[in-house]
Amino acid sequence: MPISKKTTTKTPADGRRRELLATAAEVFAAQGYNATTVRRIADEAGILAGSLYYHFDSKESMLDEILSAFLDELWAGYDAVLAAGLGPRETIEALVTESFREIDRHRAAVAIYQKESRHLVDQPRFAYLAASQRKFEKAWLGTLERGVADGAFRADLDVRLAYRFVRDTVWVAASWYRPGGAHSPEEIARQYLSMVLDGIAVRPQEP
């Protein structure tokens, strides 16, 4: 059950759409949605601006499709993790790892989401963004609280602050992450988790 109500109709000639969406996502991510002209996307795709409208209703509907496809995939991964019945620490580890995998696969969509979701949320068309945010918060906050309760996480945490801390820490990575770099998503996740869970300072010496 996808977070967005879109029925991703998989018609045979669907390939062109996907190509064009990938192009659009790349440009949106690089220049921002508003600053991106439909002509720029068309140029990048090697067609004329008007021709995009054979495939899409509007510039906005391209954005919509990009974001909802991303969120659908993200939640497929998250839901699997949340259904696995792991402990709080292991859940956090799995969610962070899954997030970096999504960043790896949908870098452009993630960057767009970061930059644009705040003002899109208010538009009825993008109501699913708000729904996703609520679900997201519930998953992370719940896991953190569970961890504090069972002693996995520090009891002196401001859990809401910790939630924002972890959330931002992970997703902002999309702004500098480049797929195919030195580190795999799993490796980056491991290092992030190491910092988030154990801090960057050395532990007081154990005798």
Partner DNA sequence: CATGAATGAGTGTTCATTCAT
Partner DNA sequence: AATGAATGAACACTCATTCAT
Supply the minimum distance, in Å, between the C-beta of residue 163 and a copy of itself.
Answer: 10
Instruction: Choose one: 69-77, 100-108, 113-121, 133-141; the region binding a copy of itself (CB under 8 A).
Output: 113-121
- Kindly give the interhelix angle for 88-105 and 59-82, rounded to the nearest 10 degrees: 150
**Residue of 16, 19, 35, 186 interacting with a copy of itself (CB under 8 A):** 35
Residue 119 touches which of DNA, a copy of itself, none (Cβ within 5-8 Å per kind): a copy of itself
Specify the residue, 46 or 85, whose C-beta has the smaller distance to DNA. Answer: 46
Residues 30-69 that bind DNA (CB under 7 A): 36-39, 47-51, 53-55, 57-60
Query: Which candidate, 62, 55, 91, 105, places its Cα nearest to that of 166?
Result: 91
How many residues lie near DNA (CB under 7 A)? 19
For 12, 137, 144, the CA distances from 117, given in Å and listed in that order, are 31, 15, 24
Residues 117-146 that bind a copy of itself (CB under 8 A): 118-119, 144
- What whole-number distance in Å separates Cα of residue 83 and Cα of residue 142? 14
- What whole-number distance in Å separates Cα of residue 135 and Cα of residue 75? 10
- What whole-number distance in Å separates Cα of residue 37 and Cα of residue 15? 23
In 3-state terms, what secondary structure has residue 112? helix
Residues engaged in binding a copy of itself (CB under 8 A): 31-32, 34-35, 89, 115, 118-119, 144, 151-158, 161-162, 164-166, 168-169, 172-173, 175-176, 188, 191-192, 194-204, 206-207
